[in-house]
Amino acid sequence: MLTNGGRIVGVHIAFYSERRVGSKIERFCNLSAWCVLDGYRSHGLRLLKALLDQGGYTFTDLSPSGNVVPLNRRLKFQQIDTAAALVINLPRPRWRSGISIVTDPQSLEGLLDARDLEIYRDHALAPAAHHLAVIKCDRHCYVMFRKDTRKRLRVFASILHVGDRALFAETAHHIYSHLLTQFGIVGTFVEKRFADVHPRFSMPLRSPRPKMFLSNRVSPSEVDYLYSELTCVPW
């Protein structure tokens, strides 16, 4: 927080979490909204420096604005590979498929394994996070997504977490159908880190939105989108 004479003139919001990465517990600081009043813009970097001077953290910036991206690069942030496709959601019947989709909170709690259950409970009340599990035979995959607005149309979704990547690939067309029929979502943004297989009616994104991180202990593949503004702030 940046103050002048007791008046707040700038803030840099951050989300903190402790996460298991491999065999270690890693502390994360997710950088979010950064706002400074016009007359104090020259002091704005002090807010960012105060955050980055915290020792022992992996820093993430998952929705940097256009002018922040080059600044982050100068500060040695790395860019995560966010190659993605926009999938057109089409209706698909599930009868006789052996596949079901669960969204009821009590059913989810009884279905998920320890790791995904912890994630679900931590995000169950997060304003931007939506949850479902797809079931096929004795397998299940927990999926977290958010609703997004593009071109002033709030009819899109972005996948934020996939519990079982292989099962997600097998059942994704049913998930996309569910998003269309139950949420009115016509298109889903899916990054390659979540699914290698995309249906016929999908389009690769030419310029996916950047996501960045700064760490000497965590690799890009170990950075996820949980405990961040992506799960907590609808837009």
Q: Tokens 């790791």 belong to which residue? A: 115
Percentage above 70 pLDDT, the chain: 100
Determine the pLDDT at residue 196.
78
Query: Could you tell me where in the chain the CATH 3.40.630.30 domains are found?
Result: 2-81+209-232
Tell if the pTM clears 0.85, that is, is over it.
yes
The secondary structure of the chain as a DSSP string is -EEETTEEEEEEEEEEEEEEETTEEEEEEEEEEEEE-GGGGGGHHHHHHHHHTSTTEEEEESS--TTHHHHHHHTTPEEP---EEEEEP-----TTTTEEEE--HHHHHHHS-HHHHHHHHHHTT-TT-EEEEEEETTEEEEEEEEEEEETTEEEEEEEEEES-HHHHHHHHHHHHHHHHHHH---EEEEETTT-S---SSEEE-SSPPP-EEE-SS--GGG--S-SSHHHH---
Q: Is the pLDDT of residue 197 over 80?
A: no
The confidence band for 59, taking pLDDT boundaries of 50, 70 and 90, is very high
Token couple for 136: 């096929």
The mean predicted confidence, pLDDT, of the chain is 94
CB 115 within 8 A of CB 211: no
Determine the pLDDT at residue 198.
74
Q: Distance (Å, rounded) from C-alpha 157 to C-alpha 177? A: 12
Of the listed ranges 84-88, 125-129, 205-209, the one predicted with least confidence: 205-209
Q: Which amino acid is at 112?
A: L
Q: Distance (Å, rounded) from C-alpha 63 to C-alpha 233? A: 11
CB 198 within 8 A of CB 85: yes
Q: Is the pLDDT of residue 103 over 80?
A: yes
C-alpha distances out from residue 198 to 66, 115, 180, 201, 205, Å: 28, 26, 16, 8, 13
Q: Does domain 84-204 have CATH number 3.40.630?
A: yes
Backbone torsions φ then ψ of 67, nearest 5 degrees:
-80, -15
Assigned CATH for 2-81+209-232: 3.40.630.30
The confidence band for 168, taking pLDDT boundaries of 50, 70 and 90, is very high
Q: Which amino acid is at 87?
A: V
Nearest to 192, CA basis, from 85, 86, 88: 85
Token couple for 144: 């977290």
